Amino acid sequence: MRIYVTGIGLVSGIGANVSEHLQAFAANRHGMGKVTLFPTTLDATVSEVKLGNNELKVRLGLPQNKLYSRTTLLGMLAAKEALANSRIAGIKTIRTGFISSTSVGGMDLSERFYADFKYNPQKADIRMAAQHDCGDSTQRIAEYLNITGFVTTVSTACSSAANAVIMGARMIKNGLLDAVIAGGTDALCKFTLNGFNSLMILDKKHCRPFDDSRAGLNLGEGAGYLVLQNEASLQFDPYCLLTGYANANDAYHQTATSPNGNGPYECMRQSIEMAMISPNSVAYINVHGTGTPNNDMSEGKAIRRLFGENIPPFSSVKAFIGHTLGAAEGIEAVLSVLSVTNGIIYPNLNFRSPVEGTNLIPVTEYCEGLELRHVLSNSFGFGGNDSSLLFSKIN
C-alpha cells in the first residue's frame, strides 16, 4: 500500500508557517540568539520561536485567560496548518488519527509551578503541574483539531517525531486508519537547557554541523507535522510518497550514538531497502547533523559505509533552527517533503573544513528547482534510538 503525504505544517525560530521557512532558507537567515523566554545564568545560543504565548493564542483563536503549555501552542499552530494544507473535506468521514511526539511535554509550565510551590505552596497554580505529562499536549492538540479517533504520544528523545510518522504509516498500511496527522512539538525550557549543559554538548557560539571545529549543539523549539493518507481517501493531488522508513536501536550508550554509526547505518539501509531503490538513487540527505563531536562523526561514518565514494548531496538545517529535540524530525520531514516537491537543498551554515576521518563536505548554498526523486531524512535519539524516513516523487 502506498502512503501519500498530503499536508505539511511548520513553526520554528525562522518562521511561523511553511512559506516563512522557505523565505528564510533562501535568504540564509537563521533564527539563533540568546535566551529570552526564561531567566538563565547560562551563556547559551538558542533558536526561539519569535512569538510569545499570547501571540500564539491570538493566531489560534484561543482565549487569553486559558492556560496552555508552550509545547501545546506550538504544536497546535503547525498541526492546524498541516491539516488545512491537506484540504481533507471532513476528518469525521474518514478514519483519522493524531500521533504526536514531544520530549519536554509541559515542563515549561511545571518547572514554574515547582518554583512557586517551593516558595509558597498555597499560591502555586496546580494547573501548571497538570500539563506536565507528554500526553497532555497531544490530547489538547487533538481536541483543538477536533480529532476524536486514534490519538497517542511517542517520546523517544530526538527520534520521536520520526517514530510518530513511522507509526502512522504502519497503521495506514495495516488498514487501521485512512489518514494520520503525525509529527512533533517541543518548547525550550530550563530543564533541557541545563540538562544539555550538564552533558557538556552545548556550543555557546553558533553551531557548526559537520565542520572539523564543531563543539556542540544549539537548542531550538518548534513543531512540524505531516498528513499521511492512503490512496482511497485522497481528494487532492499529494506532495509525494513516504516510500521507506526504519528504526534501529543500537543501545550503545544512554546519550551517545555508537562511534561506528551502527544504528544510523541500519536505519538508513533499511529505509532504502523498503523503498526498493539502490543507495545511488538517493538524491539528497537531510542529515541529523547536530554539531556535536559524537553525532557528526558517527553519522558521517554511517554515510561513508552505506554510500562509499558516491556520497549524495547532504546538509544539516540545525544551524538555522537549532536542535528541536522531539520536534526535530517533524520539522525536518516537512523540509524533506519540500525538497522532493520543489527540488530544494538547504545550506549547511558555518561549514569551513571537513571532519577528519570522514572528509565529508556538505552543501553550503541554497539550491532549488533540482530533480530530487528520493530524499532521505535522518533523526537520531538518545539511547541509540535512530530513525530514517525516505520520501519519493510520485511516478
d(C-alpha 182, C-alpha 120), whole Å: 40
Return the pLDDT at 89.
64
Q: Which helix (H) or strand (E) holds 156?
A: none
For residue range 132-178, what is the model confidence (pLDDT) as tens digits?
999 999 999 999 999 998 999 999 989 999 999 999 999 999 999 99
d(C-alpha 4, C-alpha 389), whole Å: 13
d(C-alpha 166, C-alpha 176), whole Å: 14
> What letter does residue 281 receive in the DSSP assignment?
G
d(C-alpha 86, C-alpha 98), whole Å: 14
Average pLDDT (292-298) is: 94
Q: What is the mean pLDDT of the chain?
A: 95
| Set of cell numbers at residue 232 | 482511497
142: left (phi over 0), alpha (psi -120 to 50) or beta: alpha
> Domain containing 346 — which CATH number?
3.40.47.10
Average pLDDT (227-231) is: 97
Angle formed at CA 98 by CA 155 and CA 49, multiple of 5 degrees: 65
Return the pLDDT at 127.
84
Pick 235 or 72 by higher pLDDT.
Answer: 72
Give bridge partners of residue 367 from the DSSP assignment. 345
Return the pLDDT at 321.
98
For residue range 232-267, what is the model confidence (pLDDT) as tens digits?
999 899 999 999 999 998 888 777 788 888 999 999
For residue range 299-318, what is the model confidence (pLDDT) as tens digits?
999 999 999 999 999 999 99
For residue range 15-44, what is the model confidence (pLDDT) as tens digits?
999 999 999 999 999 999 999 999 999 999
One DSSP character per residue, 321-379 reads H-B-GGGHHHHHHHHHHHHHHH--B---TT--SPPTTT------S-B-S---SEEEEEE
Burial class (CB in 10 A: 0-12, 13-18, 19+), 237: exposed
Return the pLDDT at 251.
82
Contact 251, 291 (CB under 8 A): no
Contact 91, 150 (CB under 8 A): no
Return the pLDDT at 129.
85
235 lies in which domain range? 4-392
Return the percentage of the chain with pLDDT > 70, whole number. 99
| Set of cell numbers at residue 96 | 483519522
> What's the domain count of the chain?
1
For residue range 84-108, what is the model confidence (pLDDT) as tens digits?
999 886 667 799 999 999 999 999 9
Which are the catalytic amino acids?
A: 158, 288, 323
